[in-house]
Structure 1
């Protein structure tokens, strides 16, 4: 999950963190409209001191929390996929003779496509991979996605 998604999910906290910084900063600047799209800005005398020692703690803590949420979600998903990949690869390798790069691509493709292999992808591999092997990969990925064991005694 990207950090921006985590931030959107915590929008109220995001606004609070921004406001903790921006509200005091806005109080140090007087903006006067000068016509059309022209404005005049006048900073308070102590603005330079405030900017030199402003407290960004709330914003920094919020960003760290969002980075951790993003990383934790991403890492969990990645670890789950790698476990599925390894399980399917070992299962297929034990039963079929297939080039490793083809198998890896097919596992990823089936996973990304929700457990199915498109007809176009089947045609692309038709010369190198038998249809029953493509079916076996598709079935193994689908079963692994459902959390089922991949052994010969397990039936759908």
Structure 2
């Protein structure tokens, strides 16, 4: 029989919330990319803004990049907490190690990476993130300090 404690349950719920956030990010990027096409025939030879939608997607403008990639990056960071293959030095230094930190991370994920993206689905996933954040707070109140990582992909 497998023992399951509250820390593992909170970590599983948080992993699912982060995975769903990453999915929201992918769906959002795909939807934005579908609306993006290069025009050639309908452009003048030196028309400045003929392919403006293309430039809005493929850009180095940090404000636009942050808006496009926020749900994917927050979701990927949340998933990387548990997937050993994704745990490089950068991911480990950006991800929480306690349930209090994880709870704050999930609230930030809900507010900035879910609610404003993909309509009703984003609101539902944001709600899931908030439930996971509350679960992390309950687990911390029960006495767990360090985050339990179930480390998918570990051999």
Work out whether the TM-score is over 0.5: no
Structure number with greater Rg is: 1
Identify which of structures 1 and 2 has the higher relative contact order when contacts are C-alpha pairs closer than 8 Å and 6+ apart. 2
TM-score for both structures, normalised by structure 2: 0.30
TM-score for both structures, normalised by structure 1: 0.30
